[in-house]
């Protein structure tokens, strides 16, 4: 066997050994920065290169951004370099998906010389290969300048391309691990927020010691955490406050916003002022602390159980429904209504008044009821609900159960897209 052929076989065996080492490095950590640094250190050592870098494609900007840069000016490269796809050697590789050996960058028009100008580094030759995962380009890796001054050869390119398959796999594994950790962290946050939210919802419905009213309620979030809210405030022996609303958005921000809102409303309700003034004060606080443009539609009402007087303030919420015991008809109480809370500090809210008759019910609901959809995407609608509520109801719980049964039959298994909340109050 000729000496040159023997040397070539030895080099291939060494390259194979190196790739095995790279495989071990990939399995040694799931930290993205660490695994890329370790693999590129090995690539730089084996390729006998002065510098190396990994640029990852940002799908939002469609630009290549430096994830790791090793060598004399690595820190400067990481801080300053960002390339469009198609720009420079790396951009060309990202655009075509082909590896590239550039023995002399001064003779290649694709070379982006501004990087050298910004960093003071002098690039002579480059090996660049795509980072490909499942048929898609996620970035480009490069090694720059052989230390012996010679250009890279075809065997170098073959080995480096194989290296880059490992780099791409390492990046994908690290990203998947990071995504899994992020999901776990989010689930923990959701669980914590759910506990907070549930602590602000009533554990028990209010019971009138003199049997002058009955209350039924139902709450089902569309997700683990919802934005609907309801609560009750016992003001004295005769007066019961009812809080009912819908926070914009869903998830953790809505749950925490809701918790703070209920706390504020309890504080102001205990002062004994009318619903319109209570809502106005809560709104002023919300606007002062408002973040991310969140707001809430809300009804705050007070039932005087001794007289049947029902006073309320409506801040942009759906109409109240009054089911008249005497006639069985449903009355829509759509006025007065003001703007949602959290929109404008100087908003004013008017006081609405109803004189209930014995046996009348007041129903409060969120749009998760009226905007429920069947498999054909048709809406349940408020007029449909009103027709179904006409009649006489011996208990508010029977009315709530009837609405839920209607929704179940209407949806026919279609996915719930919004929180469903109902409160029915009967003056006995």
pLDDT of residue 96: 93
pLDDT tens for each residue of 72-94 = 877 777 777 788 999 999 999 99
> Which residues lie closer than 8 Å to 188 by C-beta, 6 or more apart?
none
pLDDT of residue 13: 45
In order, the DSSP letters of 325-387 are: TTT--EEEE--S-BPPBTS-TT---PPEEEEPPTT-EEEEE-HHHHT-B-TT--B--HHHHHH
What number of other Cβ atoms are within 10 A of residue 201's Cβ? 17
pLDDT of residue 24: 56
Would residue 180 count as lying in a domain? no
- Please tell me whether residues 170 and 265 are part of one structural domain: no
pLDDT of residue 352: 94
- Please tell me whether residues 136 and 212 are part of one structural domain: no
- Kindly indicate the confidence band of residue 33, based on its pLDDT and cuts at 50, 70 and 90: confident
Would residue 307 count as lying in a domain? yes
- Please tell me whether residues 109 and 200 are part of one structural domain: no
pLDDT of residue 354: 94
- Please tell me whether residues 167 and 250 are part of one structural domain: no
Query: Pairing state of beta strands 239-247 and 352-355?
Result: unpaired
- Kindly indicate the confidence band of residue 216, based on its pLDDT and cuts at 50, 70 and 90: very high
- Please tell me whether residues 83 and 24 are part of one structural domain: yes
- Kindly indicate the confidence band of residue 1, based on its pLDDT and cuts at 50, 70 and 90: very low
Q: Final residue of a domain: which of 174, 205, 231?
A: 174
pLDDT tens for each residue of 394-422 = 999 999 999 999 888 988 877 776 788 89
C-alpha dist (Å) from residue 120 to 41, 87, 189, 380: 22, 20, 47, 68
Instruction: Quote the percentage of the chain above a pLDDT of 70.
Output: 87
Q: Tell me the CATH number at 415.
A: 3.60.40.10
Q: Rg of the Cα trace of the chain?
A: 34
Distance CA 136, CA 133 (A): 5
Whole-prediction pTM = 0.61
Enclosing domain of residue 336? 192-427
Domain count, the chain: 2
Would residue 186 count as lying in a domain? no
φ and ψ of 168, to 5 deg:
-60, -40
C-alpha dist (Å) from residue 50 to 72, 105, 143, 149, 370: 8, 15, 8, 10, 67
- Please tell me whether residues 133 and 209 are part of one structural domain: no
Which of 292 and 264 is assigned the larger pLDDT? 264
pLDDT tens for each residue of 266-295 = 888 888 789 999 999 999 888 887 666 788
- Please tell me whether residues 150 and 197 are part of one structural domain: no
- Kindly indicate the confidence band of residue 21, based on its pLDDT and cuts at 50, 70 and 90: low
Taking residues 108-120, report their average pLDDT.
86
Would residue 182 count as lying in a domain? no
């Amino acid at each position: 066997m000729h000496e040159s052929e023997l040397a070539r076989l030895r080099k291939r065996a060494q390259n194979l050994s190196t790739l095995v080492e790279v495989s071990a490095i990939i399995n040694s950590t799931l930290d993205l920065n660490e695994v890329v640094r370790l693999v590129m250190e090995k690539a730089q050592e084996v390729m006998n290169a002065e510098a190396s870098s990994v640029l990852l494609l940002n799908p939002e900007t469609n630009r290549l951004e430096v994830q790791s840069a090793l060598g004399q000016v690595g820190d400067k490269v990481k801080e300053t370099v960002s390339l469009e796809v198609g720009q420079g050697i790396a951009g060309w590789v990202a655009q075509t998906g082909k590896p590239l050996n550039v023995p002399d960058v001064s003779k290649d028009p694709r070379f982006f010389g501004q990087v050298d100008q910004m960093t003071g580094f002098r690039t002579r030759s480059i090996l660049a290969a795509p980072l490909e995962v499942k048929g898609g380009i996620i970035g480009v890796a490069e090694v720059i300048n052989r230390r012996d001054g010679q250009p890279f050869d075809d065997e170098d390119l073959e080995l480096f391309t194989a290296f880059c398959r490992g780099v791409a796999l390492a990046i994908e594994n690290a990203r998947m691990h990071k995504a899994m950790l992020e999901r776990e962290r989010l689930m923990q946050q959701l669980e914590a927020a759910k506990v907070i939210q549930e602590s602000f919802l009533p554990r028990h419905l209010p019971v009138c010691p003199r049997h002058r009213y009955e209350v039924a309620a139902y709450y089902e979030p569309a997700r683990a955490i919802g934005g609907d809210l309801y609560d009750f405030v016992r003001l004295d022996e005769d007066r019961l406050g009812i809080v009912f609303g819908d926070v914009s958005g869903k998830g953790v921000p809505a749950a925490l916003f809701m918790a703070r809102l209920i706390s504020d409303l309890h504080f102001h309700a205990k002062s004994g002022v009318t619903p319109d003034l209570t809502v106005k004060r809560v709104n002023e606080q919300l606007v002062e602390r408002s973040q991310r443009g969140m707001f809430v539609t809300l009804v705050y009402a007070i039932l005087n159980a001794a007289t049947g007087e029902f006073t309320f303030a409506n801040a942009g919420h759906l109409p109240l429904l009054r089911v008249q015991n005497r006639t069985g008809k449903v009355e829509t109480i759509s006025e007065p209504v003001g703007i949602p809370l959290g929109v404008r500090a100087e908003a004013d809210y008017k006081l609405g008044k109803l004189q209930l008759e014995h046996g009348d019910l007041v129903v409060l609901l969120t749009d998760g009821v009226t905007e429920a959809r069947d498999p054909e995407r048709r809406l349940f609608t408020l007029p449909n609900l009103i027709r179904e509520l006409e009649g006489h109801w011996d208990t508010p719980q029977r009315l709530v159960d009837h609405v839920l049964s209607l929704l179940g039959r209407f949806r026919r298994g279609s996915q719930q897209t919004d929180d469903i909340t109902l409160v029915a109050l009967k003056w006995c």
